A and B are shown apart, each in its own frame.
Chain A
Amino acid sequence: MLSSVRTLWYTFLHLFHRNVTVSYPEEMPYLAPRTRGRIVLTRDPDGEERCVSCYLCAVACPVDCISLQKTEEDGRWYPEFFSINFSRCIFCGFCEEACPTYAIQLTPDFEMSEYDRQNLVYEKEDLLISGTGKYPDYNFYRVAGLAIPGKDKGEAEHERKPIDTRSLMP
């Protein structure tokens, strides 16, 4: 009986507590920089697409929301199309972890509601951003041993000249 009265009193005191609710649209909550939200495709410091169409993101995706097609141009691989179905995406970040070139990244933006479900399928032009995202200096083709126009084998950063297998010299 007495405990009931005490409960009543403590509940009454809650009238004077601060509300824990964050009135969201008027009052934006703080989002940590690593919050997993809308997915973007970043570019390297030279402004070229980072994505090399390795399909690892599509493989890693547990809900199969990523779909892409590889194409090749001057020795560089590009996605011919790259679409993410955000009505399926669970924002797990596995694609970001799988990506070998830091191309696919998750941003703290989550306000992407649509009236039409179809509009939640983002194509490559919607996903591509002009910047480098979280890794400002990384450029895959500059560190990879692949030969592309303007950079032959052995010319990448920290890369030795290829060994001439026909020579006996060390």
Chain B
Amino acid sequence: MSHPHTIIGGLLNIVLGLAFALAMAALLTWVERRLLGFLQDRYGPNRAGPFGILQAVADGIKLLFKQDWIPPFADPGVFVLAPAISMVTVMLALAVIPATPVIGIIGNLNVGLLYFLAMGGLGVYSVVLAGWASNNKFSLLGGVRAAAQMVSYEVFMGLALVGVVMLAGSFNLTDIVHSQRHLWYVVPQFVGFIIFFLGGIAETHRLPFDLPEGESELGAGFHTEYSGMKFGMFFIGEYIGIMLVSAMTTVLFLGGWYGPILPPFLWFGIKTGLLIAFFILLRAALPRPRYDQLMSFGWKLLLPLTLLNILVTGALMLAGPAPS
């Protein structure tokens, strides 16, 4: 039975965790632009505050004070709902990440991994509904692309994790990290790691897989009609999504909080931060593939590879000595 004290503690945990996630997402907008600048031999935003760190605050204030415009031809209910779904699903998914054995909102959920995938699946609704409710051909095209891309990449993302689950013997993320005490899963599950990360990029529709937004051909894709804080919510949702995928990759393949000397939380932060930096590097380096290339890459290359990965992992587990 819940004790009042634990309820307050739990609520505090949730509020602080989400506030931290939001703050990090806001900071990430600045980090990304700064890092992208350096990668392109320029400075990026360096004016507001020390090193331009207040740029995120300035952007937030600007977005809040912009006119909140719903186009007359849009479906207002769904139009408002879509950005909320985008933000809520990633934040809900973030709750399941165990940063350390003690830090985390519901880190010890026994179906944590499935919950994460389920939330990722729900996230598709935000872009599809946004594209549909905008009642605009560019948005609709973006939404259609998003639906196809995210649904298909979700398949490989989920299947890529089967290897990890087989090795760890658990869906509980904390248990998965614990089972990587001696060897990070990136070594035995290297293929799974690559495919999960690719799927993660497609899932967060980040460059180079940003076809739903496709600025050069679709305007801004599914969020063409969005302005003000509703656009900001898509934006924040995307950045929390990056953090989520990076943190998830850390937990599943890079040994979570394990590492020498430094405290666990710092290790988790360092690994996640490096993955986020890699996301930004990808954005700076790679061009967007064509839509059919993206789909055929997924279904003709990644799917067989994933299935092969599961097969080989299973065969080795049967042949070799049982783990742990």
Contacts and interface: CB of A to CB of B under 8 A. Distances in A.
Interface of A: 4, 7-8, 10-12, 14-15, 17-21, 23
A20 B41 CA distance: 6
Contacts of B43: 19, 21, 23
A76 B38 CA distance: 61
20 contacts: A4-B285, A4-B286, A7-B285, A8-B281, A8-B282, A8-B286, A10-B285, A11-B39, A11-B281, A11-B284, A12-B39, A14-B40, A14-B284, A15-B39, A17-B41, A18-B41, A19-B41, A20-B41, A21-B41, A21-B42
A12 B42 contact: no
Given A14-B38, A14-B40, A21-B41, 19 more contacts: A4-B285, A7-B286, A8-B281, A8-B282, A10-B285, A11-B39, A11-B281, A11-B285, A12-B281, A14-B39, A14-B41, A14-B284, A17-B41, A18-B41, A19-B41, A19-B42, A19-B43, A21-B42, A23-B43
- Interface on chain B toward A: helix, strand, loop, or mixed SS? helix
B161 to A, nearest CB: 22
Interface of B: 38-43, 281-282, 284-286
Contacts of B42: 19-21
A14 to B, nearest CB: 5
A66 to B, nearest CB: 37
Contacts of B286: 4, 7-8
A10 B286 CA distance: 11
B12 to A, nearest CB: 39
A7 B287 CA distance: 10
Nearest to B283: A11
Contacts of A15: 38-39
Contacts of B284: 11, 14
Contacts of B285: 4, 7-8, 10-12
A8 B284 CA distance: 8
Contacts of A14: 38-41, 284
Nearest to A13: B39
A12 B41 CA distance: 11
Contacts of B39: 11-12, 14-15
A18 B284 CA distance: 17
A100 B112 CA distance: 84
B282 to A, nearest CB: 7
A117 to B, nearest CB: 25
A19 B282 contact: no
A44 B38 CA distance: 51
A17 B37 CA distance: 11
Contacts of B282: 8
Contacts of A17: 41
A15 B284 CA distance: 11
A138 to B, nearest CB: 45
Contact of B38 (A4, A10, A19): A19
A67 to B, nearest CB: 39
